[in-house]
Structure 1
Amino acid sequence: MEWIYLILAGLCEVGLVSFMKLSDGFRKKNYLLLTAVAGFSSFFFLSKALESISLGLGYGIWTGIGAAGGVLLGMFVFGEKKDWRKLLFISMIVIGIVGLKLVGE
């Protein structure tokens, strides 16, 4: 169950940065509320995951999901520049996450 919590925490982290972008500097109140809910949810699920997953492993995977998801959403949803090098480095993050999982337990 802790891995489900960790994945949910990472996805909420992606939601957090997406809603923050959509809030236009926190001027759009509906997105401000969604940012707060996503942020709280992300930290809540991360705290639940860290009850049984080591700190280094859990935090590394959580930030990796957030970073990779944020870059991919930026490229494919928010119209940011698409570049094969970005995808290369995102794949390195994913490989790092898998590596952490393999050696972390």
Structure 2
Amino acid sequence: MEIYRIDIREVRTRKELHGRISETLPLPDYYGNNLDALFDVLTECGEKRTIVFITNEYVEEALGKYYSALQAMCRAAADENPELTILFDEESDHDAYEEEY
């Protein structure tokens, strides 16, 4: 199982968000840098993987409704793909997840 940690604590725009996602996840060249494209990639992957978004309250403030849409899309993708787990971690100790799993 692959675990991907995407640190979005300093993200303030959609472009920055998709840049961080693209830097961390193995995405195809045709990835469209939007939530629909990310949903397609996440639901088509057959490998077991966990994605942890490392976040804070500032990201939600900066992205507003787009942050809520990201969370909703992640829930829908995980529901559709049983090999996928997506977490949003707002805790300060991000190494605790690694020790736990």
TM-score category by the smaller chain?
A: 0.3 to 0.5
| Higher fraction of helix | 1
Q: Computing the radius of gyration over CA atoms, which structure comes out larger, 1 or 2?
A: 1
TM-score normalised to structure 1 length: 0.35
| Higher fraction of strand | 2
